[in-house]
Structures are given as C-alpha cells and as structure tokens.
Amino acid sequence: MVNGGDIYFDLKTAGTYTLTMLDQTQNVITRERISGKVGQNKLKIYTSSLPVKYLYLVLEDQSRTQLGKTTIKIN
C-alpha cells in the first residue's frame, strides 16, 4: 500500500465503527472512529509517517466485536 491508498469494506448496518492499526507485536499505532454506511465504504490510509513495514487493520463495531482483520504491506 502506498501513502494515501484506499481501503474498501462492506457493512451490513450503518453506525459508528472503530478502525485500529496494529504493528507486528499487536501494539496500537492508531485508532479512529468512523461513521459507516450500509454497503461499500471507502477510507484513505496515510502511512508515510509510520515506522513499520507491515500493519494489521482491525474493524470493530460499537460492541467491540471484530468484523474484519487484514494485513497491509507499506511501500
């Protein structure tokens, strides 16, 4: 992924969600709340200031249920 790259994810319900970036040792790099809509959602991910090469992205709903997790490689 390059700085300013887009990520896409589908949601079944509209609401507030949490997107967390974790490093390889599971330390939180960033955590942000987002307003999700039903269907496909798109976010820009800015990575130029991050000191790591790989990140885990975790998406959770309001009750902290993990909806998805993926790994990204920063170029």
Q: What is the DSSP letter of 26?
A: -
Distance CA 73, CA 54 (A): 5
Sign of the Cα pseudo-torsion (62, 63, 66, 71, in order): positive
At residue 2, does pLDDT exceed 60?
no
pLDDT in tens, 18-32: 999 898 888 898 899
* pLDDT (average), residues 32-57: 83
Q: What is the DSSP letter of 60?
A: E
At residue 62, does pLDDT exceed 60?
yes
pTM of the predicted structure, to 2 decimals: 0.78
